[in-house]
Structure 1
């Protein structure tokens, strides 16, 4: 009776009320996710026979298990097509059925190997998506004139220790601090954070503002939409708060920063005042290292440029398809 039911279910589009008793007779409990795929199978009986090949005997049939079974069945179909005897006489004379059968068993495709597909990446910081039609040509089609000014290969003296990492961030902080002082309109000379904490009572109220420059740590939002982060330099750490203003106090530049957020390890300057308790620094203005006026260099051809930094090869966040 069971074999007759399986032969009947070979036809594509068998009704579910006839598929279910056959599955239950084999001790298989289908989940909701496999109902439609089972009804669309071309040869359900042959697919069920592949259960042993994927290590499934009985129990809950999930979509993942069904996909593996279908993959095994498709592999067998391809093997049958590829192992059909040819009309050449010399092939028939030397043909050994036992060897061919063994090769067929060893050549089963357990799971097909598919090319990775690019993931739908959501851009952060409100950056718009790009379209390939916006560019007149690919970067690989444009003429290149690359000059290597310095090659680190064989010349690196660091060992990847914590002292090397700290030295790198300290040097970066000092370099960008000079750029901020030179290019930004700071209300006063920046002060070390440890000194600001010691003299926090001097910088309360709007008349006497303090200025600090450091690295951004742990940027986060409050439940009211305010942006809070820790600013760190060589001497200490400062908790900063950029409030979300309303009405006449709205500031478009501040709103853009609140929308985009801040990146960890960014170097920037802040000016503002301390709270009455001295544990919070209210930010009035942010100061970045860019210049007020910047002359853009234009290319004769419209091309796209890819900048590579930490590409996370081998990690869980590595985008294999895009790479």
Structure 2
């Protein structure tokens, strides 16, 4: 399934005003859209047929006919679940409403990310990690937190990883990368200049690059060899740092688990060896 509505929601903030009008109309009237010709849709969204074709191509379709067909299949498969509408947080919300809305947004982001992940792409990424000499991790801001979490997870399995906190150190890290390494770049926006520069340096050294980023034809996505897309239903108060972080962490958990599952016995042995026991743990209590 090609997830027309999800793709439109993800790219909508970066579209031109005319393209946003078209996207908004489709998102609010998905059933009606499946019955409209390209000229009808242009008229209803106060745009032009050429603008409709342009937005189709932005989200990965050759034209409106292909998009309409995919949308019809999506609505038949997902029904109401496919066209969810987000309620943003407002200053008038009660504490209970904030709890409900933030939780719903985070859950929806995880479900949307699940729909964006391509299994073939994921399998190739796991293979790259397994065969790499070193996993080089990159990220700034909240994405750096995700990079650190990735480092700690693979450290448990004795997989060599490197993560540096400042952008200059990350740039040096990228320049030292070779074809024996693999870089994983976390950038929700896909437009962080420091990450773009690091990717270019890694590719110059022959290192393959995996990008974990939002669904949008950003420079990060275009430069990377493999892309794992994440979704985010961000709040007005914390755009780009709440749901997106959880979605990225979820992708890390999937990569880690898939990598660990390749050799279950060795994984269990290493997890047991690297477990740090604490007072009260059953293993500690049974020791003489």
- Bucket of the pairwise TM-score, normalised by the shorter protein: under 0.3
TM-score, normalised on structure 2? 0.25
Higher RCO (Cα < 8 Å, 6 or more apart):
2
Relative to its length, the structure with more strand (as a share) is 1
